[in-house]
Amino acid sequence: MIKIKKNHPVLIFAVAAGLLFFLHSFGLSRPVENLFWAAVKPLSGRLYAWGESFSHFYRANQNQGDLSSQVDRLNREIAGLTVANSQCREIEAENRKLRSALQFGAAASFRTVVANVIAKEAAAEDSRGLIIDRGTNDGLRPDLGVISEDGTLVGKVVEAKAATAKVCLTTSPDCQLAATLQNQERTQGLTDGDLGLTIKMSYIPQLEKIAPGDPVITSGLGGDIPRGLLIGRVTKVYNASNEVWQEATIEAPVNFDNLTIVSVVIP
């Protein structure tokens, strides 16, 4: 038989539990219980408040984390939509230029080959050119005229390979074109690029009457470029009385930096 000492903790706990149960059963411990609950009630209230605060803090942090994740996801979606919108706008612009080029070619009396500008190069500080994705395989050869989507002459082919060709712009030096002023005298002359910025028309007889605003077109003489293609308009006239020839500055109605689609004129 196991003997339990009188001061053993188990015996003491059992006696205390039994005494408390006896006192509670007959209501004798109620004053002590009331005093105990009165003492611990403020502490329990604080513990409850701390628990609620911690719970709110946890939920707020969790909601903030969820909100941050949603913001990151939305930002990624916005970035993707921005890229897609930019691509759509670029495609729309290219399609608009292509439609204009095809419509002009269909209405013209000559054949055109539509080409994409795949590179821009500067042979010298004042000379600029384009590289297009059409070449001898498409019937291209040097001295053919190159026009923008609205039909303005922007240059001519100076070199053609199997699948590519090089184009000199009308504003580049040594890109000479036979031209005609649409004035009363139908004055003829020769255009050439001026410092890569504007176009200069030379060899205009001194007695011819020209004025700013006069259109300048191709004359169709001495080459494969047909007559009547717009080169630009006169902006300034230089006519010193002691000179045999006049000169005029011509401005093209084209932004050469924005050329992405051109057409090569094949007579």
64-86 pLDDT per residue, tens: 666 777 777 777 777 676 666 65
Longest dimension (CA), the chain: 146
Q: What is the mean pLDDT of residues 180-202?
A: 88
Q: Full-prediction pTM beyond 0.85?
A: no
Band of pLDDT at residue 232, cut at 50, 70 and 90: very high
Residue 229's beta-bridge partner residues? none
Tokens of 225: 């470029």
| Model confidence at 47: pLDDT above 70 | no
3-state helix, strand, coil in the chain (%, to 5): 40, 30, 30
Q: What pLDDT was estimated at residue 31?
A: 61
The 10s digit of each residue's pLDDT in 160-177 is 999 999 999 999 988 999
| Model confidence at 145: pLDDT above 80 | yes
Residue 181 has φ and ψ, to the nearest 5°, of -85, 135
Pick the most confident of 22-26, 104-108, 195-199, 217-221. 217-221
Kind plus residue range of the DSSP H or E element containing 234: strand 230-238
Tokens of 62: 């969790």
Q: What pLDDT was estimated at residue 2?
A: 47
Tokens of 243: 């000179």
Mean pLDDT, the chain, integer: 77
| Model confidence at 158: pLDDT above 80 | yes
Whether 173 and 191 have beta carbons less than 8 Å apart is answered as no
The 10s digit of each residue's pLDDT in 93-129 is 566 656 655 555 555 567 889 999 999 887 665 667 8
How many Å apart are CA 167 and CA 116, to the nearest integer? Answer: 12
How many Å apart are CA 160 and CA 147, to the nearest integer? Answer: 16
How many Å apart are CA 132 and CA 116, to the nearest integer? Answer: 6
